[in-house]
Structure 1
Amino acid sequence: MNQFRHITISGEPVERGKQHGKQLSVEISRTIDFYRSIFALPESEILHRAELFRDIIERFNPTYIEEIDGIAQGAGVDPLWIIALNARTEILSHCAGVSNECTSVYYSGSAILGQNWDWGKALESLSVLMKIVQTDGHIIFMLTEPGIIGKIGMNSSGLGVCLNILTLGRLLDGLPVHIFLRAILDCHSLAQVDSLLASHGGGKASNIMVADAGGDGFNIEFCGENSYRLVAESDYLLHTNHYLDRPINSEKDPSFSSSYARLNKATQILSENKERSVAGMRALLSDDSDRSWPIYREYIPDDSVHELGTICTIVMELAQQKMHVRKGKGPDAKFFEYHLDG
């Protein structure tokens, strides 16, 4: 099937969670199995770390714990495993050589935001498009992994967010980045996002590209307790999987060969093609001309996630509240258009 499953959840946090869990119970179980296989930790240690992150999330926003507990109840699983899914990036931070292969871009003049999400092949058949309709009328539309309450998407206030995992080489113990993504999608303005960054930006290693329908946007590189803000120097923002503001990940390190190659190729494409449109972004995120390190990639064997490749391509028109989504790579892969209010 060449489209992602599309579900809608609504109501109060616990009810939304129950709907999420019931509709995706099989997928949640399989997602837990996938992460159990790559965490490389005893289950007791995974759940112990999940307990610590549960406390962090509850102090940040208790309603997120209500939603997570609702997911666990609906899916019939241990709530700590749902916490572990939402903190999967932080739990994986102890693993050496975890692969991170995503390319994100934003066209400021046309308020178009998008990315390729590259990760383990098992997640291609499990991930879903989810619409969250809150009781105040606020709507979130995102591509997410079963059981995870925040990921790549946009909202009815015209905000959108993309994610690139970065590597810092140490354990991460802050608010999980996927919870932070949900908090951004719950915001109504970039000013609210700035407040979040000021109060809860520590303990992560990721880049978040956030933008609005008015053409404003920025990257935030989380680097442990520090964070670095990058704004567009021309008419676009671009990020892959190494730090840009500080020389933390060396180009000479083979672990970052793909990240540097994809950044250089995307920069070349953006300099040669000035079309800042949906078609232009689709073309950029479809480039596979570098056979060794393509932007749009086939699945290949990988030590950390078994098989690594492009799970999906997402292009968001923030002003029009449209999302263009393509599942995987292959002869049947094509874009489908979704409207936030559809």
Structure 2
Amino acid sequence: MKITITQRSLFRRRVLWGVGLVVFVLAALNSCAIWTVLVTNPKLSPRTEARSDGKSFVKPGAGGVPIVHLHGTPYERGHAHGAMLKDEIRTLYENYLGIIVTYTYGRNDYLKVARAMLPHMPEAYVEEMRGIADGAGTGLSFDDVLVANVFLDVSQQVGCSTFTLDESRVSDPQDIMLGRNLDFTSLNIAGRYSHVFVHHGTGGHDVLAPSWPGLVGAVSGMNDKGLALAMMLVPSEELNSASMPYAMLYRQILERAATAEQARVTLLELGCRASVTNNLTIFDVNGEGFVAEIEPNRGGAAQVRFREECAGCAFSTNHFNEEHGELETDPYGNSYERWDLMKTKLAGEKPLTVDDAKALLKELAMDGKNLQSMIFLPRRREMLLAAIGPDAVERPYESYNLDRLLGHSP
């Protein structure tokens, strides 16, 4: 089943995001009770203490971002996820996700899409979601977890920027990188709740993924072989519900592929299940990578195009390359402007450093929406992450070492 987002509903969604949520925040400012809940209530911050559930555990992370290690069967990983993070999941659902769901299409429409997608989701991830619901206990149903895990596909509000640099574009060959900003409406809630998830023993490669409690997919991440990826949503009027949520698709790629070429093959094998239009950036330890432009099923197969913008680098925002500058209005915020900025900054001959990459990410960040900013360094087996807040890029980048977190070398 393919669901078409009509012009009227698309207009409604954009108006509600651009105006309705502003109205909500302004109303909150005039309500002491709501303002206390959203801004000043210390309970609306993730717990920082260490805790465990079976083989899985949460430990305090650098910069206030908790690190969640998940072990066991899919259901056991999900159950531990739900049990250890139940307060965070409920807070996000009640004070953030539930509000946005209501202000866009409404829970019934989200649930309709989620149930249509359910047969196309990997069984292991379905078991994880069942485990999350059971582990979290009273007040969170499996349907709630389903809605949370199709939220990104239906709302279509992720606005991001990514770039890759190979040996020819960096000052130190060890610093080949994938840089990434994740920009999204925060409501002063989502920005506080970033967690780093470490998926162990999934039957494939172990995966490191910055994400949020209650979600099982990956929109950014790196696996134990140093393969890194990040997605950028391209707004569309269609959603293919005969598919898995795109974050699940991308976690599958990280679990299955060790190199950019293997990721390309895996994407083509699984791409027929793409839910919405996306740009996907892939980069590996060999300095090989690409941007894939992915469209939902048309005629039984997804359209996937691979591209590179300049020698030694690839970059992408929230539109397809062939559409750059051709639409009357920017398809997402300042997507054209960010694309042009990267073209200017990356097309030169000067080798770039990690500090240069941080400075570029700061220029690219969308004001008030930058929830996570990260740099994956495959050869150093390291992720640098700035998180916490609606302007995360203003915070220090903290280092996450793959070998230390995953417990082994390739």
In which range does the TM-score fall when normalised by the shorter chain?
Answer: 0.7 to 0.9
Contact 1:251/1:260 (CA < 8 Å) preserved in 2?
Answer: no
Contact 1:114/1:315 (CA < 8 Å) preserved in 2?
Answer: yes
What is the Cα deviation at residue 239 of structure 1?
Answer: 0.4
1:199 corresponding residue in structure 2:
269
Aligned equivalents of 1:48, 1:297: Cα separation in 2: 32
Alignment of 1:1-342 (within 5 A): 2-33=63-94, 34-39=96-101, 40-57=104-121, 61-76=122-137, 77-93=140-156, 99-109=157-167, 110-121=175-186, 122-134=189-201, 138-151=205-218, 152-173=220-241, 174-189=243-258, 190-202=260-272, 203-225=275-297, 226-231=303-308, 233-244=310-321, 246-247=322-323, 250-256=326-332, 258-272=334-348, 274-287=350-363, 295-299=364-368, 309-327=369-387, 328=389, 329=391, 333-342=395-404
In structure 1, list runs of 5 or more residues that go unmatched.
94-98, 288-294, 300-308
Aligned equivalents of 1:196, 1:204: Cα separation in 2: 18
Structure 2-normalised TM-score? 0.72
Consecutive aligned runs of 4 or more in structure 1 exceeding 3 Å deviation: 135-138, 248-251, 254-257
1:291 corresponding residue in structure 2:
none
1:92-114 CA distances to partner (integer Å, 9 max, x unpaired)? 25xxxxx4421101112253112
Aligned equivalents of 2:107, 2:99: Cα separation in 1: 10
| Number of positions where the alignment pairs a residue of Structure 1 with one of Structure 2 | 317
Aligned equivalents of 1:166, 1:50: Cα separation in 2: 20
Aligned equivalents of 2:106, 2:366: Cα separation in 1: 32
The structure whose RCO (Cα within 8 Å, separation 6+) is larger is 1
Contact 2:75/2:130 (CA < 8 Å) preserved in 1?
Answer: yes
Aligned equivalents of 2:320, 2:68: Cα separation in 1: 35
1:124-177 CA distances to partner (integer Å, 9 max, x unpaired)? 111211111116684211101221122211010221111101112223322211
Aligned equivalents of 2:126, 2:65: Cα separation in 1: 26
1:193-250 CA distances to partner (integer Å, 9 max, x unpaired)? 2333223213421111111111111111112222211135411110011111x33884
SS of equivalent to 1:341: helix
Aligned equivalents of 2:111, 2:247: Cα separation in 1: 18
Aligned equivalents of 2:244, 2:280: Cα separation in 1: 14
Aligned equivalents of 2:132, 2:392: Cα separation in 1: 33
- Backbone CA RMSD of aligned residues: 2.3
What is the Cα deviation at residue 47 of structure 1?
Answer: 2.0
Give the counterpart letter for 1:69 in structure 2: R
1:265-292 CA distances to partner (integer Å, 9 max, x unpaired)? 12212234722332221121022xxxxx
SS of equivalent to 2:208: strand
Structure 1-normalised TM-score? 0.85
> Is the radius of gyration larger for structure 1 or structure 2?
2
In structure 2, list runs of 5 or more residues that go unmatched.
1-44, 46-62, 168-174, 298-302, 405-410
What is the Cα deviation at residue 256 of structure 1?
Answer: 4.1
Structure (1/2) with the larger strand percentage:
1
* Cα 1:251/1:140, change in 2 over 3 Å: same
What is the Cα deviation at residue 81 of structure 1?
Answer: 2.1
